[in-house]
Amino acid sequence: MATFHRPITFLVWPIPQTTEKDMQPNNEGRPMTDFLLHRRALLGAAALLPVGPALARVARRPLRVTLLGQSLIQQNLCATGWSGQAALLARLKIADAVFTDVETAIASPGAGAATRDGEVLHAAPPVVLDCLHRLGVTLVTTANNHAWDLGSDGIIGALAELDARGIIHAGSGHDLATASKAGWQRTPYGDVALVAAAAGAIRDGAAATPLRPGVNELRRSPSGMLDPDDVARNLDSIRSARKQGATVIACLHNHYWEPDPATTAEWQRSYARQCVDAGAAIFVAHGPPLLQGIERYKGAPLLHGLGSFIFQTRKASYAPRNWQSLMVEAHFRDGHFIDAHLTPLLLDSNRATPEAEFTQGTPSIATGTNGHEVCANVAKLSAALGMTVAIERGSIKL
């Protein structure tokens, strides 16, 4: 059978001849021939570029989005750095969008008084956002149970600090409408929209209402049923973003934990599927400071728990599994998931000094036995959800 190839069309512009006028200086005192030669060089290069479908194939690559665990960051870790930082930066800088969960209230100039104290207070100066930005973070959820640790003014102040750094956010706002609206990041390879909500441990006064700032809460009744209005509001935001052509990330910060926090609740699995049905290309969850399993639905990954990317905690009673995490480097095209590379991470559970207030909580790529243990844990948790994951050379491929 004969094979036919679509012809490639080339555009050719006529090259203008130099005239006496071209030798006259411009406003900068340079002959116009300098400009014309530069212009002609550009035109000559452009004349060799294919146009139409061929150009689209050359210029267009998949959208690259890296998803990270939650960031409980309470100090400027980038001021001193850590041993695994450079290797992480090398991977993060190639992404078009890098996502995390800011699980820290920001002590901005307008923040309110602390609404809790002791080891459960998560608050830090705005400079921690500079550190996340330096690490490549472009997109964050602010919907979690610690967003209100400095009150409603703290929520508003944190959003202003994120805006000042150009970090896109979703999940909290001046009112319920803005809190449930998608955060929108534009990239040369497509738009990314984040719709984020928080479920469980949202204290009185922390949830956004039509007239009050707060987080976008996804409520659950004692019987285990999700509030239908909350579900509908989030699904509507997903549908709207998808209709506008974005690749949609649906995010949930969940504190309705099962007896074993590594177990994914059935209601979360159901909600994740609803998000995909509404148009989400991927579902990602945080909340428990450990990993949960992965499954797929209609081709979209459901990442039920990525653990922590940064974990600067005052508490000292955590198990080894609480220091495991994943970095998910995902590819999308036309709003649909293509594939992903999941790299195991291991966090530093030590303190800089015995009397230090926080653990260092910094992430590094896990290799060798450590990397295999993280991947094996994810494989086991995923198998409980009916998903078989492939472990290849110390990482997971989806």
Per DSSP, 146 falls in state T
Residue 7, pLDDT above cutoff 50: no
Say if residues 340 and 392 touch (Cβ distance below 8 Å). no
Q: Tell the residue number behind the tokens 């960051």, with chain if given.
A: 73
List, for residues 314-357, the tens digit of each pLDDT value. 998 899 999 999 999 999 999 999 999 999 999 999 999 999 99
pLDDT (tens digit, 9 = 90+) per residue, 180-189? 999 999 999 9
In this predicted structure, what is the pLDDT of residue 298? 98
pLDDT at 337: 98
Residue 38 pLDDT more than 50? no
Residue 16 has pLDDT above 70, yes or no: no
Q: What angle is formed at CA 60 by the lines to CA 56 and CA 63, rounded to 5 degrees?
A: 150
Q: What pLDDT shows up at residue 14?
A: 41
For residue 317, what are its two tokens? 């009673």
pLDDT digits (tens, 9 = 90+) for 144-168: 999 999 999 999 999 999 999 999 9
β-bridge partners, 333: 336
Is the pLDDT assigned to residue 30 strictly greater than 80? no
Report which of residues 378 and 43 the model is more confident about: 378
The distance of Cα 344 from the centroid of its chain, to the nearest Å, equals 17
Q: Percentage of residues in the chain with pLDDT exceeding 90?
A: 83
Top pLDDT among 38 and 82 is at 82
Non-local (6+) Cβ contacts of 122 within 8 A are 72, 74, 103, 104, 105, 146, 149
Residue found by looking up tokens 């008084």 in the block: 113
Residue whose pair of structure tokens reads 């930082």 in the numeric block: 85
Would you state the structure tokens that stand for residue 154, as one six-digit string?
A: 């703290």
* pLDDT score at 52: 46
Residue that wins the pLDDT comparison between 8 and 203 = 203
**Is residue 2 over pLDDT 50?**
no
CB 295 within 8 Å of CB 337:
no
More confident residue, 78 or 42: 78
Residue 223, pLDDT score? 86
Specify the pairing of strand 183-187 against strand 247-254.
unpaired
373-378 contacts, C-beta under 8 A, 24 or more apart: 373/324, 374/291, 374/324, 374/325, 374/326, 374/344, 374/345, 374/346, 375/342, 375/344, 377/291, 377/321, 377/324, 378/291, 378/293, 378/294, 378/326, 378/342, 378/344
Interatomic CA distance for residues 311 and 321, integer angstroms: 13
The pLDDT assigned to 44 comes to: 42
Whether the per-residue pLDDT at 46 is higher than 50: the answer is: no
**Average pLDDT of the segment spanning 210-233:** 96
Question: Which tens digits make up the pLDDT trace of 96-114?
Answer: 999 999 999 999 999 999 9
Query: What CA–CA distance (Å, rounded) separates 151 from 138?
Result: 25
pTM (2 decimals)?
0.86
| 1 has a pLDDT exceeding 70 | no
Q: Which fold has domain 67-397?
A: Purple Acid Phosphatase; chain A, domain 2 (3.60.21)
pLDDT greater than 70 at residue 40: no
Query: According to the model, what pLDDT value does residue 63 have?
Result: 98
> How many other C-beta atoms lie within 10 A of the C-beta of residue 85?
17
Give one DSSP letter per residue of 25-54, joined into a string: B-TTS-BHHHHHHHHHHHHHHHHTSEETHH
Amino acid at position 203, single letter: R
Instruction: Note the pLDDT of residue 60.
Output: 84
| Cβ pair 170, 207 in contact under 8 A | no
CA–CA gap between residue 311 and residue 289 (Å, rounded): 8
> Is the confidence at residue 5, as pLDDT, over 50?
no
Over range 247-269, report the average pLDDT: 98
What's the chain's average pLDDT? 89
Give tens-digit pLDDT for 61-94. 999 999 999 999 999 999 999 999 999 999 999 9
